[in-house]
Amino acid sequence: MKMEDSVQFVRGVGEKRAKTFEKLGIKTVSDLLYHLPRDYEDRSDIKNICDLIDGEKVCILGRITALPRSFRSKNGLMVTQATVSDGTGIMKITWFNAKYIENQLRGDREFVFFGEATYRGRNAEMVNPVVEKYDGGGKKTGRIVPIYPLCAGISQYMLRSAIENAIENLEDKIPNTVPEKIAKKCALLDTEKAMREIHFPEDFDSFKRAKYSLAFEELLVMQTGIQILKGDRKNYTAEPFSDVKCIGELAKSLPFELTGAQKRVINEICADLKKNVPMNRLVQGDVGSGKTVVAAAAMFSAVRSGYQGAMIAPTEILAKQHYKSFTKMFENMGVKVALLVGGKSKGKTIVLEKIASGEIDIVVGTHAVLTANVNFKNLALAVTDEQHRFGVKQRATLTEKGKNVHTLVMTATPIPRTLSLILYGDLDVSVIDELPPGRKEVQTFAVGENMRARVNKFIASKIAEGRQVYIVCPLVEESELLTAKAAVEYAESLKAGSFKNYNIDVIHGKMKAKEKDAVMERFSKGETDILVSTTVIEVGVDVPNATVMVIENAERFGLSQLHQLRGRIRRGEHEAFCIMFNKSSGEIAKERMKIMQETNDGFKISEKDLLLRGPGEFFGVRQHGLPELKIANLAEDMEILKMAQMASEEIIGEDKTLSRPENKNLKNRVMRKYEEVGGRGILN
């Protein structure tokens, strides 16, 4: 059996079960071995019943003192009970809906039970424990046991057995990805040994050594790919923009002064546009920091240099907002801007013809810009807004509509400064870390249910002043459908209760684009007093008159997401208020609420979010066009990452195409990993 073979050939899997394994992303033997534990349980120590502590997870070794009995409870559950003795005490053990346990516990022999020990009075109990016959070398107990991510139809025991069988029956040794020179320098384990120890560690020190070695290997693959992508850009040539000084003309025409941060970032972009290498720059800026003006400046330079520019946004309403902003900025500059969104319209054919002829200078739109019928005469600048909403292939599709197009990507999701240069290693990074003057910080409060009446009264007072309100509903069991339903039901309850005399609307992710646009249009015009929403408004249209945001069940949201939501009301001249209802007494939830009340700085918040939750939702590596990390955790493994980064620079410095024999396995891994996320022929 080889690493690239189908998982069906692993003993205990087979053709039918292999289809279930696919639900976990496991198709090959390699996928199976790299399906790593999410946790471990120490089932190696056996304790005496007399020494048990209430609430601890523990193994006990004992004999059944009486035959187990099964009966049906009042609520219909099948209950199986047994009594176990180990000579130091007696424990009552209960299983629910597991009558088969009766047959397992036959015979005068010892069994190991692993579970949570509890006490009812002085009597020790255990519910639904793992049970195994004691023979000194168990598979379920007597060792450190890995706990894997599962899906319906696959048990922990089934997965552990499959992995063990795969390792034992491999024809060839698992190849070492890291070149021997680097492995020795960094004290790495052999890959096969590391793989054995991460799945079946002898002790926790063994696990740590294996985790370090495999995390280094994974990060080396990622960083080497980044080094190649960055170096590969130097092989392309782009037409330098002949006119970047025109941006000063645009700045003078604006009704406001650019911030120092905006000027700095525009200068960085101008320096790129004057080169004959395609720009590939990321602009990070908090909500309301003025990224649109920066994009407009780059667009203006493109047009004055004789080229076209295109900007895509993830939603129609956001595209329309950018279109209005550009139209207003360029109204006296002789720049022709067009909007291109989905659906059919009478004038769409004419717009497409004008884009193809070069009569349209700047195109702003949604995914519609990416369709095959959109052709440019001389596209030279592609801008992607909220870049994490677009896949790698979608962004590539836009740039391929021109020749060696300059690329600018923007995000309002602050990434911790310590990580952005690594995360976006193939991009040059600019940060707008200053808000326009006069932009007030949002006053933020975390409250409990006891403040409900007072908050409702505050909302009513703000509406009486002419302001508008967002109420954000929580996530429901990670289900968009259930979350949408909850938002609709909550809006109905408000209409029937505390706010029956107000205009209330609802928006959620399951609505059609036109429905969402209509709702936001009404809200923008001031026709709606309260907008009940899911997180679909996290990235949305500016409504300066909306100055109050109430976030229900705020403990269910990550810090970065709470900050993004709050950013929706930091848009106008009026004082803004964010009220978070927190129903959790947990320490992490309390810490999140405290941080949100202490700062409006998105970068500080993202640093804290990383520490509290790990990479989490704002940090999905796959979204950024990099391979998914299965082993390394960038919140914990920064030192390993730095070592891997230095190693990749050393390797690429000596062998740019990884053509040397010692780099063969690394080259194969890099090619395979980057192809998974749509990398365009890396190293081919």
Identify the three-state secondary structure at position 620: coil
Which of 39, 47, 38, 40 minimizes the C-alpha distance to 126?
Answer: 47
CA–CA dist 614, 636 (Å, integer) = 8
Instruction: List the end-to-end C-alpha distance of the chain, in Å, as a whole number.
Output: 28
Each residue's pLDDT tens digit, 434-455: 877 767 789 999 999 999 999 9
Q: What angle do CA 475, 541, 514 make, to 5 degrees?
A: 80
The mean predicted confidence, pLDDT, of the chain is 85
Of 85-89, 458-462, 516-520, 635-639, least confident by mean pLDDT is: 635-639
Of 139-148, 226-235, 478-487, 552-561, least confident by mean pLDDT is: 478-487
Each residue's pLDDT tens digit, 22-75: 999 899 998 899 898 888 888 888 899 999 999 889 999 999 987 888 999 888
Say what the pLDDT of residue 104 is. 85
Alpha helices in 128-245 (DSSP H): 156-168, 180-185, 191-199, 204-233
Each residue's pLDDT tens digit, 205-214: 888 999 999 9
Q: What percent of the chain has pLDDT over 90?
A: 43
Of 231-245, 486-500, 587-601, 602-616, least confident by mean pLDDT is: 602-616
Place of tokens 């950024």: 624
Each residue's pLDDT tens digit, 602-636: 878 877 776 665 543 333 333 444 556 778 776 67
Each residue's pLDDT tens digit, 263-302: 999 999 999 999 988 898 889 888 778 899 999 999 999 9
Strand 530-533 and strand 443-447: the pairing is: unpaired
Say what the pLDDT of residue 210 is. 93
Mean pLDDT of 474-490: 67
Q: How confident is the model at residue 417 (pLDDT cuts 50, 70, 90)?
A: low
Mean pLDDT of 385-403: 70
Sheet strands (E) in 76-133: 78-85, 90-96, 111-120, 123-127, 130-133
CB 319 within 8 A of CB 366: yes
Q: How confident is the model at residue 651 (pLDDT cuts 50, 70, 90)?
A: very high
Say what the pLDDT of residue 399 is. 81
CB 373 within 8 A of CB 342: no
Copy the structure tokens of residue 388.
Answer: 């994490």
Say what the pLDDT of residue 615 is. 44
Mean pLDDT of 91-105: 89
Identify the three-state secondary structure at position 526: coil
Q: How confident is the model at residue 137 (pLDDT cuts 50, 70, 90)?
A: low
pLDDT at 162 over 90: yes
Distances (CA, A) of 476 to 481, 483, 487: 9, 5, 10
Between 258 and 394, where is the model more confident?
A: 258
Copy the structure tokens of residue 164.
Answer: 């063990």
Say what the pLDDT of residue 609 is. 74
Say what the pLDDT of residue 650 is. 92
CA–CA dist 345, 242 (Å, integer) = 36
Residue 449 backbone phi and psi in degrees, to 5: -60, -25
Sheet holding 504-507, edge to edge: 443-447, 577-581, 546-551, 468-472, 530-533, 504-507
Say what the pLDDT of residue 230 is. 67
Strand-pairing partners, residue 469, are 530, 548
- pTM to 2 decimals? 0.64
pLDDT at 683 over 70: no
